[in-house]
Amino acid sequence: MHLKDLTYGIVGLGIMGGSFAKSIRERILCMSGSTGRIYGCNRSTACLEAAKNEGVIDRAFTSDSVAEMLPECDVVFICLYPHATLDFLREHKNHFKSGAIVTDISGVKGIFESELPSIMRADVDFIIGHPMAGGEKEGYAASNAQFFVNHNYLLIPQPYNKKENLDMMRDLISAMGFTRITETTCELHDYKIGFTSQLCHVIASALVESAEDEGITAFGGGSFEDLTRIALINAPLWTELFISNKEKLVAHIERFQNCMEEFKRDIQNGDSESLCRLLDDVRTKRMKMGSIRTKVE
């Protein structure tokens, strides 16, 4: 069946779930002759009403009625916190349509690799995924189909995934505007994301927390604002992500602390030669990082 003729279910219509729904509506179901539909499920009803009135979803379901939605969906995006996603799968294991593709958006993956085999049915294909896109604000009102355009999607194929379903997922990801699909393992995902995402949020948060004067931003020239944009943080979500990936994240924090100590020592000692050498090394390393990303893209 073509992407434009599938029924999509979105569980959790917040900023990410809403963005998936809007992207599918605008980029896939707008095709000529489309018969596809989008169903949305959320605990609160305000965003469901908004999405329905905007024509983003065709039918709205509350958490109490999601068991009626799932048997009709060919593809289901579960846009919940990591452990809530696992709880949802346990509770609704028998409600999914036979042959359905189910996927997640969680920022940690190790817990899925260990738990999924005992949760999922053999006739339902759970494909582990992580869209590297979004915004700092929360809720459906902040969702936007354009979040996904020219961004990266991390896909983590498992031995039990069917080839045709992985191919369909790749087609769907590309159709939503993602221009890079990076395939990896759960272990490598958590290690890399621990550095490129979680550590960055820790650093941004620590920088804001270290400020002695909230009015210091009156002296800002852009650097502080650039570094702390991601400190506008969803505290419950990021607390769960940090702790779920604590071993890898703590190791990254310790390496960062060692680098900070090196900078502190050179500055404190007035060692301009060592500091300049360190900064030159940083510049060279950062340029190489940029060239590697360009090659991937």
Q: What are the boundaries of each domain within the chain? A: 3-184, 189-296
Tell me what the mean pLDDT of segment 42-47 comes to. Answer: 91
**Token digits of residue 60:** 């709205």
Does CATH place domain 3-184 in 3.40.190.10?
A: no
The pLDDT score that the predictor gives to residue 293 is 54
- Model pTM score: 0.89
Q: Which of 40-44, 204-208, 210-214, 245-249 is predicted with the least confidence, judged by mean pLDDT?
A: 210-214
Q: What is the C-alpha to C-alpha distance for residues 204 and 150, in angstroms, rounded to an integer?
A: 24
> What integer best gives the mean pLDDT of the chain?
93
- Residues 85/12, Cβ–Cβ less than 8 Å: no
Q: What is the C-alpha to C-alpha distance for residues 228 and 201, in angstroms, rounded to an integer?
A: 8
pLDDT in tens, 263-294: 999 999 999 999 999 999 999 999 998 765 54
**Coil, helix or strand at residue 127:** strand
Tell me what the mean pLDDT of segment 23-51 comes to. Answer: 94
* CATH superfamily for domain 189-296: 6-phosphogluconate dehydrogenase C-terminal like domain (1.10.3660.10)
- Residues 39/72, Cβ–Cβ less than 8 Å: yes
Of 100, 26, 176, 17, residue with least CA distance to 39: 17
The pLDDT score that the predictor gives to residue 18 is 96
Tell me what the mean pLDDT of segment 82-110 comes to. Answer: 96
**Coil, helix or strand at residue 240:** helix
Number of Cα atoms under 13 Å in the Cβ half of residue 61: 20
Confidence of residue 141 (pLDDT cuts 50, 70, 90): very high
